[in-house]
Amino acid sequence: MKVIKKPLNYIKACEHIKDYLLKCLKDNLISAVVFGSYAMLVPSIKSNLDLLVVVHRVDDTVEKILNELSVNFAFSYGRTLSITVLSAEDILMSVDALDPIIIGVFWSHDILFDRNNWFRKQMDSIESKILAQKINLKMKRGALVWTVEDLKSLRKNTTKQQ
């Protein structure tokens, strides 16, 4: 399917995503979070919209719902919606390990929905870990980077916990 790129009405698109997820996923939905170039406020006409969906259970029904959302979004907004779906347990493990992907989401995100502030609490936990381990995060050319010393320290601290 070829997607025709046109300017995206970000607020309208986010409302559409949130309403659809709440209607279809109901109580299984924990959080919906935009990350990437739109969250950093630097999208181009070619940018896709990156979405993290956190649910209690990932199953075939969730995958089908998110696939339908992605297709519908492409037709409605002329943009690709790139969806990453993770369970709450997956997020907790990523936060505990300071996984680079979750740190990237931490760096710049826009929360569309957050049941009981669950996702915000996970981001607070990441911030505490980064500060405690004195990790020096920087943005270079649109990518999140940290120094070799920070990575060595992170690896040493993560290994000690296991």
Distance CA 141, CA 158 (A): 28
The CB density around residue 61, as the number of other CB atoms within 10 Å, is: 12
Give helix 100-107 / helix 88-97 axis angle, nearest 10°. 90
pLDDT for residue 2? 54
pLDDT for residue 153? 55
pLDDT for residue 91? 97
Predicted TM-score (pTM) of this structure: 0.82
Q: What is the pLDDT of residues 133-146, one digit of tens each?
A: 776 666 555 555 54
H or E stretch covering 60 = helix 60-77
Ordered by start, the domain boundaries in the chain are 10-161
Tell which CATH architecture fits domain 10-161. Answer: 2-Layer Sandwich (3.30)
DSSP 1-62: -PPPP----HHHHHHHHHHHHHHHHGGGEEEEEEESTTTTT---TT--EEEEEEES---HHH
Q: What is the pLDDT of residues 44-69, one digit of tens each?
A: 888 899 999 999 999 999 999 999 99
pLDDT for residue 148? 44
Average pLDDT of the segment spanning 65-81: 94
Planar angle of CA 31, 33, 39, nearest 5 degrees? 165
Sign of CA dihedral 147, 157, 33, 57: positive
- CB-CB contact of 135 with 146 (8 Å): yes
Among 112, 17, 26, which Cα is nearest to 61's? 26
pLDDT for residue 144? 52
Name the average pLDDT for the chain: 84
What is the DSSP code (8-state) at residue 108?
Answer: S
